[in-house]
Structure 1
Amino acid sequence: MGYELIQEDGSKKVVRFTMDASDLGKIFRKVKREISKEALIPGFRPGHIPESILQKKFGNLIIAEVAEQAHRSLTEDFFDNFDWVLSDEDPEFENLLPVEGEDYIYTVTYKVFEAPEPVDYREVKVTVPAFDLDKAVNDTIDNIRTQFVEFEPTEDASAEGDMVILSYPAPDNSEDKEPRDISAVIGRNDMGPGFDELVTGVRAGDSFTLQMQMQNTKEGVETPSVPAHKFTVKEVRSHTYPELDDEFAKKAGGFDDMDKFREKVREDLSERHAAEMKSYKERLAVNAILENNQFDVPAFMVSNLKNDYLTRLEADQKDEAAVKAAEEMAESKVREFLLLRQIAIAESLEIPEQEIAEAVAGGDSRSAFLDRKRNEKALEFVLNNAIVEEKHPEEPSEGHGDTSAYPWKWVRVETEAAEEGER
């Protein structure tokens, strides 16, 4: 029982399959038992129908089922041993049916998919953000430090990092007329753009009126009227951060001294950044080689992967846009798989047989393991030969955080203008 590649003609592969009479006979007997149990023939109990009657009534069905099961048995590990990717064309079966008591020998002609030779996969350009590890360590420790901040009332003017507690009148439609209190830590941008700047330099007892106003409005476009709010500073609390000493290291990280804590932060940041950059560079490199290698892929592979993506969605999520996105993503992933496969073949990136055998012994499929490991090697090859450039991020503009994405900001208004806005 087995198979043999007997002819190759470009993308056409002719394979001869053979099953000896004894193994074929087992399938015949199995199929007959199954049909006998399910058939309803007057005068006979299910499972006790004479073979002559089965042959007369279900002979064609028996042969068709035996042929299907025999082929399924013969091809169980077929594609594990032939490193092919099939095309969209259906295999051509020799028109021979199994005969009980005889060897079953037939041929199948497969049309395999031939991806084009890969191009421009060496020295692809990959641009990544520059990473200052020392600065990242200091910023991380400073961020942890702010979590241990302590606030104390002060008569001084508010400054960066201080907490400002303000009160404002209750809304007119509120049953509770007691003033409301809010607090803001200057620098955190908790209240939206412009607010932190307006409450910097204030003292307890100060009052002022603030209003949210639209930014960058088009000429002639009427902007909605937003009520102004009168705020009174109830209290200013200055901030105190802990010293970066051994006591802080114990509180923040459970370390005996600050040097050990700093080293741990450095180690964690370095490992995390390396993992993030590896994934980031891989994605950029794959996008680059996909852009350089455009080709059509087998539609059945795209369809199978698309359906796999869609099964992960709820029924009400499978709208036209979701189906289209799933198809586009599937096409890209299939092309990525086939392209990396071709790069591995072009560069003779082999997987040791012992490694494959160990994976198969552990329950892995030979073909699946080979595809996975070979493509990993191909991607590693692309990255090792890539031109990686670092780009330093632009310096942030002055102020309390990036507020450019907001369509509005807080501004101070005079009392008369505020009253006019409320009317």
Structure 2
Amino acid sequence: MNITKKDIDSLNAVVTVEISKEDYSEKVNTILTNYRKNANIPGFRKGHVPMGMVKKQYGTAVLVEEVNKLLQEALHKFLTEEKLDVLGNPLPKNETEIDWKAEDFTFEFDLGLAPQFDVDVKGRKAVTQYKIVADEKMLNNQVKTIRKQYGKLIAKDAVEKGDEITGTFTSEEKEISQKTTFSTEEIKGKKQLTALLGAKVGDTVSLKTKGLFNDDHDNQKYLGVSHDDAHGLDIEVTLTIEEVNAREMAELNQELFDKLFGPGVVSSEKELKEKIKEDAEKQFEQQSDQKLLNDIVESLIENTKFDLPDAFLERWIQVSGEKPLSEEAAKEEYARSEKGLRYQLIEGKIRAENNLQVTMDELKDYAKDMIKVQMAQFGQANPSEEELDGIAARILSNEDEVKRIGEQLNTNKLLNFFKENAKLKTKEVTYDAFIKEAYA
């Protein structure tokens, strides 16, 4: 057997595999001999079927199977030993030209080669790292929400400002029939609010949906329409009022603080706000980190220039799925996936050059840290190492869990690497400002 590689250019090559009769004949003959021993053919005793008949009936099929096995093994070994960094899989170049009646065979495969490139993680332009802070307005709103949530409901006959209304929205046009509860504070339209104020239990009120709520997404929440219909919904609905309640807000006292955070953790409104701020900003950090990761990825893709074997990859996409694609469909699919492929190559290079692979010990330690946090939430603050090891071992025996935890840890390692090495500029913003600026 002989294998050679011819470079077409820096991104494309052809591998030629030459297989001679000596490479496969012994194996093929052994298989055919076994077939002869076990074949049941009318007119012949078992084991006495003429070899010529066996070869005629099974020879080509056995030959094709064994040669293909040899071919795949040889190709895999060649790519591994030559350390060729290929994209996709080798594509047969001359499979329709193979004459299986011959004794010697020559197979050709097109290869798409990974490009050579450098990654400048630091970059020229700094990426914004948002530090999201909980401002006084947010803290006051959170305190108000808590007081409402733990307050008392007082039934009323008629609607006043600040009341909660339970009723059913209906519309034949959009086939709406949705029972819901909302506060008058969520009503944005002045005309709609005027129509509601003074309405009594049992009344039916007609309301325009345009500008009805503070946010168009509330149309989805309260009217039960789809996400697409929620935006800019402009119809008339009727609301049949079934309940009206005023919510008497809970007092900010020790009983409430203990109910929220446990005995003695918080003992004043000031400490309550500090706790809310601390918890909120921990959650905000996750959103900020995700935004930072997304922005660095976009920056790396934009600023890391290299060519790809486009024609090869389009062909590979065309034939590699469960069902072959048309040439046009393969081009469209490649256009959609090219960006992701580019980042996959960039990320792979960053991980390889900076030793960012996840080890089993790191996976186990990460799982144990997650377990500690979960156990603390249920009042188990100091689990033993033996207990943690046992739980971690059970979790890591599940392949899906290993994959999930591994992906989390991989992302964290990459994010920490970027925080330490990328060029960043910190910007402190409120949560509302972050949403407007980051996702406008």
CA distance in 1, matches of 2:330, 2:252: 54
1:390 to 2:427 alignment: yes
Q: Over residues 268-296 of structure 1, what are the superposed CA-to-partner deviations in whole Å (9 max), with x where a residue is unaligned?
A: 54443333332222222222222334644
Find the counterpart in structure 1 of residue 216 from structure 2. none
Quick one: structure 1 residues 34 and 158, their matched pair in 2 at CA, closer, same or farther if it must change by over 3 Å?
farther
User: What's the CA shift for 1:68?
Assistant: 1.1
Quick one: structure 1 residues 212 and 52, their matched pair in 2 at CA, closer, same or farther if it must change by over 3 Å?
closer
From the two aligned structures, give the one with the greater helix fraction.
2
Letter in 2 for 1:292: N
Find the counterpart in structure 1 of residue 259 from structure 2. 251
CA distance in 1, matches of 2:425, 2:92: 45
Q: Answer yes or no: is the 8 Å Cα contact 2:166–2:180 preserved in 1.
A: yes
CA distance in 1, matches of 2:276, 2:322: 41
Q: Over residues 163-197 of structure 1, what are the superposed CA-to-partner deviations in whole Å (9 max), with x where a residue is unaligned?
A: 4799xxx99xxxxxxxxx998633123xx633675
Find the counterpart in structure 1 of residue 147 from structure 2. 145
Find the counterpart in structure 2 of residue 66 from structure 1. 66
CA distance in 1, matches of 2:3, 2:360: 22
Letter in 2 for 1:349: N
Q: Over residues 54-81 of structure 1, what are the superposed CA-to-partner deviations in whole Å (9 max), with x where a residue is unaligned?
A: 3455544433321211233445676666
Q: Over residues 254-311 of structure 1, what are the superposed CA-to-partner deviations in whole Å (9 max), with x where a residue is unaligned?
A: 5554369877755654443333332222222222222334644556656777999999
Find the counterpart in structure 2 of residue 315 from structure 1. none
Quick one: structure 1 residues 225 and 111, their matched pair in 2 at CA, closer, same or farther if it must change by over 3 Å?
closer
User: What's the CA shift for 1:140?
Assistant: 4.1
Letter in 2 for 1:240: E
Quick one: structure 1 residues 96 and 129, their matched pair in 2 at CA, closer, same or farther if it must change by over 3 Å?
same
Find the counterpart in structure 2 of residue 54 from structure 1. 54
Quick one: structure 1 residues 84 and 51, their matched pair in 2 at CA, closer, same or farther if it must change by over 3 Å?
farther
1:330 to 2:326 alignment: no
Find the counterpart in structure 1 of residue 115 from structure 2. 115
Quick one: structure 1 residues 357 and 33, their matched pair in 2 at CA, closer, same or farther if it must change by over 3 Å?
farther
Letter in 2 for 1:251: K
Long gaps (5+) in structure 2: 172-178, 212-233, 364-396, 434-440
Aligned partner (choices 173, 185, 188) of residue 187 of structure 1: 185
Report the TM-score when normalising by structure 2.
Answer: 0.51
Quick one: structure 1 residues 165 and 280, their matched pair in 2 at CA, closer, same or farther if it must change by over 3 Å?
closer
CA distance in 2, matches of 1:44, 1:358: 65
Task: Give runs of aligned pairs for residues 254-269 of structure 1, distance below 5 A.
Answer: 254-258=262-266, 268-269=279-280
Find the counterpart in structure 1 of residue 390 from structure 2. none
CA distance in 1, matches of 2:153, 2:42: 93
CA distance in 2, matches of 1:182, 1:358: 48
Letter in 2 for 1:331: E
User: What's the CA shift for 1:84?
Assistant: 1.0
Letter in 1 for 2:190: G
Q: Answer yes or no: is the 8 Å Cα contact 2:92–2:110 preserved in 1.
A: yes
Q: Answer yes or no: is the 8 Å Cα contact 2:126–2:423 preserved in 1.
A: yes
CA distance in 1, matches of 2:411, 2:261: 41
Q: Answer yes or no: is the 8 Å Cα contact 2:3–2:16 preserved in 1.
A: yes
1:198 to 2:206 alignment: no
1:286 to 2:297 alignment: yes
Report the TM-score when normalising by structure 1.
Answer: 0.52
CA distance in 1, matches of 2:164, 2:398: 61
Find the counterpart in structure 2 of residue 419 from structure 1. none
Structure with larger RCO (C-alpha < 8 A, sep 6+)? 1
> Any idea what SS the aligned residue of 1:131 has?
strand
Find the counterpart in structure 2 of residue 399 from structure 1. none
Q: Answer yes or no: is the 8 Å Cα contact 2:129–2:424 preserved in 1.
A: no
Q: Over residues 195-234 of structure 1, what are the superposed CA-to-partner deviations in whole Å (9 max), with x where a residue is unaligned?
A: 67537986999x9x9863968xxxxxxxx996999x9x99
Letter in 2 for 1:185: S
Q: Between Structure 1 and Structure 2, how many residues are aligned? A: 342
Aligned partner (choices 203, 206, 212) of residue 208 of structure 2: 212
User: What's the CA shift for 1:147?
Assistant: 1.6
Q: Answer yes or no: is the 8 Å Cα contact 1:157–1:202 preserved in 2.
A: yes
Long gaps (5+) in structure 1: 99-103, 172-180, 216-223, 312-317, 397-423
Task: Give runs of aligned pairs for residues 290-301 of structure 1, distance below 5 A.
Answer: 290-293=301-304, 295-298=307-310
CA distance in 2, matches of 1:107, 1:225: 67
